[in-house]
Structure 1
Amino acid sequence: MIEISSKTNEHFRRWTDLASSRGIKKHGEFILMGEKLIQEFLANPNYKIKAEIVHEDLKSVTLTHPISKTQRIPIYKLPKAMFNEVDVIGTHFNLLVLEPKEIPALNPSAKAEGLEVIAPLGDPSNLGALARSAVAFKVSKIILTEESCTPYHPKAIKASAGALLKLPILKAGKFSEFVQSHGDIYALDMKGESVAKFNWPMNLRLVIGEEGPGFSGIKGLNRLAVPTEGVESLNATVAASIALFTYAQKHS
């Protein structure tokens, strides 16, 4: 076990940087946080473990795990105060530093297979919540655009309850360019055909707009809406969950 007590240590500085999408992309690492998520992951460790981080009151979860027989996993012990700086969502449980997988690019000529959700979401909590609903309601894959946050952000993984580590994820280019170059896309918007009345085809792409800008300036979109009363609109991920549920009901 390697003890670290200085905030100038290169490992500690790198780990604190992993609380942002930029840091994750820069260092090629992300941190899995949360006892339940870690136990689920260790039951099927499909990402390379680069390190385990503990403090003085925590025992290693990898040292006695069968994976330790096939992979050398460095274990680092931090003082509690420093540990808490890395544990940005406050799990107070062991942390695993993992190596993210390369996100493949979407074939621009590929047709939709099942319900594919395009998610230009920069807010990690929104992306995580969307992914959780996507797993629940038969989404075949999520497509991230350049504006999307990384799916390996700790807040995104937490909000997804681990769904982001299970869903097929692809990447595309800029949101506006991608949407305007594909005529078979349906946009979830405040104005459009009711999702409840829409005759959902088995194969289609549904784009979820970021709250605020939405689809302003983008013309020619097929639009679907979740009708509301008493409020102008719903949170983007709430509306998306209702739409995904409606699709799943049509194809149950």
Structure 2
Amino acid sequence: MAAGHAGERDVNDRGRNRQRRRAVAPAAAVIHGRNAVLEAARAGQVVKVFQASGLGHDPRLDELARLAPIEVVPPERLEAIAAGVHQGVAAELKPRREWTLKELLATDPTLLVALDGIMDPQNLGAILRSAEVAGAAGAIIPEHRSAPLSAAAVKASSGASELLRVAHVSGIPSAIAEVKRAGIWCAALDVRGETAPWEFDLTQAVCIVIGSEGEGVHRLVRERCDVRIRLPVAGHVSSFNASAAAAALLYEVQRQRAGSKTTRP
């Protein structure tokens, strides 16, 4: 009986270890979709591109051919290589560099994002895309309670995830404490927040903390942040989804840092 329980524990431990490895995998081995593959190639992250035979002309394919080796394959082989809507293109990626939080903070970042419990890969990818567009130096993602940086997430980011420094951490609360010790303000996006985006100085070094749509930012994380920012709404729905809220606040960061200049006719 004891041996049986030990065997069950071994199986459970292996399952948990596999789940953890999936969450913190260096990168999806294969990604798909023309924009995602092109951005990854521009970042120098592509080993080889698999392209379905018989595709029509597309300037993105021309650029891909200049950036990475191309292997033209039958459409049915591409279906076996890439799951989902691949648009006739998939790519094998180089192993992603894993940054530690200490290394990330050593780059003297002025804008970071921390993701607290984002379980949907589409939301994860969309947030990373907005972060990269806004000029974020990197993203902080928990090892547990997070969608993995999978092919679906990379595609949702349009390849922007391959341009960002990503640090996986054991927990967001302890990461927030370390970020604050580095002299960076931490601002939680929270529907119950007391501060509007334009009421907080986002020109200073800041880490934007984004929680899941269902639970939002967890209590301990909220308590450790310097400010809780809410996005005012004018309609009947109570809040934006996580990726839309992140994009809105990251745009406000850019607006403030541009000097809030307005051009009038």
Q: TM-score, normalised by structure 2?
A: 0.69
The code of the aligned residue for 1:114 comes to: T
Match of residue 110 from structure 2: 114
Distance 1:93 1:109 in 2: 35
Shift of 1:65: 5.5
Aligned in 2, Cα 1:226/1:98: closer, same or farther, shift over 3 Å? same
The code of the aligned residue for 1:87 comes to: A
Deviations 1:163-186, CA, capped at 9 Å, x for gaps: 111122222221233336655422
**Alignment RMSD (CA, Å):** 3.5
Deviates more, 1:187-196 or 1:169-178: 169-178
Deviations 1:162-221, CA, capped at 9 Å, x for gaps: 211112222222123333665542211002211122222420111101121223432353
Is contact 1:53-1:78 (8 Å) kept?
A: no
Match of residue 250 from structure 1: 256
Aligned in 2, Cα 1:79/1:160: closer, same or farther, shift over 3 Å? closer
Shift of 1:66: 7.5
Distance 1:95 1:198 in 2: 42
**Structure 2 runs not aligned, ≥5 long:** 1-20, 259-265
The code of the aligned residue for 2:160 comes to: A
Aligned in 2, Cα 1:95/1:202: closer, same or farther, shift over 3 Å? same
Distance 1:46 1:66 in 2: 8
Match of residue 239 from structure 2: 233
Aligned in 2, Cα 1:48/1:108: closer, same or farther, shift over 3 Å? closer
Is 1:186 aligned to residue 187 of structure 2?
yes
* Secondary structure, aligned partner of 1:169: strand
Distance 2:67 2:216 in 1: 47
Shift of 1:85: 4.5
1:122-141 matched pairs, under 5 angstroms? 122-141=119-138
Shift of 1:126: 0.7
Aligned in 2, Cα 1:99/1:149: closer, same or farther, shift over 3 Å? farther
Deviates more, 1:175-184 or 1:155-164: 175-184
* Secondary structure, aligned partner of 1:25: coil
**Structure 1 runs not aligned, ≥5 long:** 1-20
Match of residue 97 from structure 2: 102
Match of residue 9 from structure 1: none
Match of residue 164 from structure 2: 167
Is contact 2:169-2:175 (8 Å) kept?
A: yes
The code of the aligned residue for 2:123 comes to: N
Deviations 1:91-134, CA, capped at 9 Å, x for gaps: 24132211222211111994862111112322211111112211
Match of residue 17 from structure 2: none
* Secondary structure, aligned partner of 1:228: coil
Deviations 1:12-66, CA, capped at 9 Å, x for gaps: xxxxxxxxx829939x752131234434544x461251x554556579999x758
Distance 1:189 1:122 in 2: 17
Instruction: State percent identity of aligned pairs.
Output: 23
Is contact 1:133-1:241 (8 Å) kept?
A: yes
* Secondary structure, aligned partner of 1:196: helix
1:84-95 matched pairs, under 5 angstroms? 84-95=79-90
The code of the aligned residue for 2:88 comes to: F
* Secondary structure, aligned partner of 1:83: helix
Distance 1:109 1:52 in 2: 30
Distance 2:53 2:24 in 1: 26
Aligned in 2, Cα 1:29/1:208: closer, same or farther, shift over 3 Å? closer
Is contact 1:84-1:90 (8 Å) kept?
A: no
The code of the aligned residue for 2:22 comes to: R
Q: TM-score, normalised by structure 1?
A: 0.72
- Looking at secondary structure, tell me which structure has more helix per residue: 2
1:56-75 matched pairs, under 5 angstroms? 57=54
